[in-house]
Amino acid sequence: MWKKIKQILFIILILNVVFIIWGRFLNPPITITQIGGLFEYGKLQRDYISSEEMGNNVKKAVIASEDQKFFTHNGFDYTAIEKAMKHNEKGKKLRGGSTISQQTAKNIFLWQGRSWVRKGLEAVYTFIIEKFWGKDIILERYLNSIEMGQGVFGVEAAAEYYFGKPSKDLTASEAAWIAAVLPNPKKYDPKNPSPYLRKKHSWIMRQMRNVSLK
């Protein structure tokens, strides 16, 4: 029995190593979240593109919205995590402190949810991809795999879905609208923005001035 368990664990380890190496050079064939979106909405709209094809506006908008320390942290923003923990301890609406690196680890390798098991695995994968992939690849994988609408994944598919154009041609304002739906893309719609989404869009536009893609 123990021998079989060790064999299974070894196979899982090998598969993880292969998938991590694969991710260094290629986007994932499909993710658990994408499969979920396909079953829930009956479609999987995505279009993987290179970082160079994305254009700078959408990169700046998403970084401004999600993780302004992306290029300087080691995968974890401890200040944001501490603030999120204090906020959640007060019994208010749950707030996350995840970086783009952590979200990439979750989106590519894991599943959605808030269990301690998933968070622990997320931390391990985050550490590995920060060391093995590097920032540019992490950002490209994130922008290609992130859920950005009902059955819509990645910035290229989002640009086509919301504005009928490739992501490299998005204006700063259009890019900010796409970024504004994060982290609740199923709830918010740039085509019919709520007062909250309009306010967040304006905030992202201001924050984009402070983002440097280095």
Residue 149 belongs to some domain of the structure: yes
* Residue 212 dihedral angles phi and psi, to the nearest 5°: -115, 130
Residue 178 in contact with residue 200, Cβ under 8 Å?
Answer: no
Question: pLDDT over 90 for what percent of the chain?
Answer: 56
Q: At 149, which CATH number?
A: 1.10.3810.10
In a domain, 34, yes or no: no
With respect to residue 11, please indicate whether it lies within any of the assigned structural domains. Answer: no
- Cα 207 to the center of its chain, rounded Å: 19
Residue 54 forms part of a structural domain: yes
Would 150 be classed as within a structural domain? yes
Say if 30 falls within a structural domain: no
**129-153: average pLDDT:** 94
Say how far apart CA 77 and CA 150 lie, in whole Å.
29
What's the domain count of the chain?
Answer: 1
For residue 8, tell me if it sits in a domain.
Answer: no
Classify residue 12: in a domain, yes or no. no
pLDDT in tens, 46-94: 999 999 999 999 999 999 999 999 999 988 877 766 666 655 555 555 5
User: Greater confidence, 13 or 174?
Assistant: 174
> Could you give the CA distance from residue 152 to residue 144 in angstroms, rounded to a whole number?
10
Which domain, by its residues, includes 183?
50-208
